[in-house]
């Protein structure tokens, strides 16, 4: 009789432990299922559209477009900048791309870029993200990826 009671208790304990463990693994699965920023931005096509709108804004932005004159005059350079920006955003957002361009320090060395110009460019990106209805959370996450690059780009 005592043995049976002990068996029942240990069976109940095992069920509780299993339930708790299943509960835990459910939580882990939910965490793993959170899509990457890349996915939430809409993948490579959506990122490419944002970059195209961003470059259109930059070229029209009288605060900074003088810095891009030589780039705009050379279609190969323009296409390379576009491809590098797409890869950089895709990779930074956890997507399946690798950035093959120069480091931010190397790419902007000697350009004399000021904080005002940096902010103007970020404003052009925000405009492009808004045009494509990127939600606030994703917009802020992307800006948080790019923001720390300021130290390597700005020279004032």
Among 91, 107, 109, 126, binds ligand HEM (CB under 6 A): 107
Task: Assign residue 34 a region (left: φ > 0; alpha: ψ between -120 and 50; beta: otherwise).
Answer: beta
Give the single-character DSSP code of 132.
Answer: T
Among 37, 51, 55, 88, binds ligand HEM (CB under 6 A): 88
Contacts of 44 (CB under 8 A, 6+ apart): 86, 90, 95, 97
Q: Are 92 and 13 in contact (CB under 8 A)?
A: no
Count of beta carbons in the 10 Å neighbourhood of residue 143 = 13
Site map for ligand HEM, 64-83, x if CB under 6 A? x--xx--x-----x---x--
Q: Which is nearer to ligand HEM, 40 or 121 (CB)?
A: 121
Q: By CB under 6 A, name the binding residues for ligand HEM.
A: 64, 67-68, 71, 77, 81, 84-85, 88, 101-102, 107-108, 113, 117-118, 121, 146, 149, 153
Which residues line the annotated binding site for heme? 108
């Amino acid at each position: 009789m005592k043995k049976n009671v002990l068996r029942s208790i240990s069976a109940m304990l095992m069920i509780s432990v299993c339930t708790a463990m299943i509960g835990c693994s459910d939580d882990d699965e939910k965490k793993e299922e959170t899509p990457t920023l890349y996915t939430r931005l809409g993948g490579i096509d959506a990122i490419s559209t944002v970059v195209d709108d961003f470059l259109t804004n930059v070229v029209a932005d009288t605060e900074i477009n003088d810095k891009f004159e030589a780039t705009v005059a050379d279609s190969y350079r323009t296409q390379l900048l576009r491809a590098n920006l797409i890869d950089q955003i895709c990779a930074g957002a956890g997507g399946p791309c690798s950035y093959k361009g120069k480091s931010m320090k190397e790419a902007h060395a000697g350009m004399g870029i000021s904080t005002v110009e940096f902010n103007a460019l970020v404003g052009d990106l925000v405009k492009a993200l808004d045009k494509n209805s990127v939600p606030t959370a994703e917009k802020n996450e992307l800006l948080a990826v790019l923001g720390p690059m300021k130290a390597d780009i700005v020279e004032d």
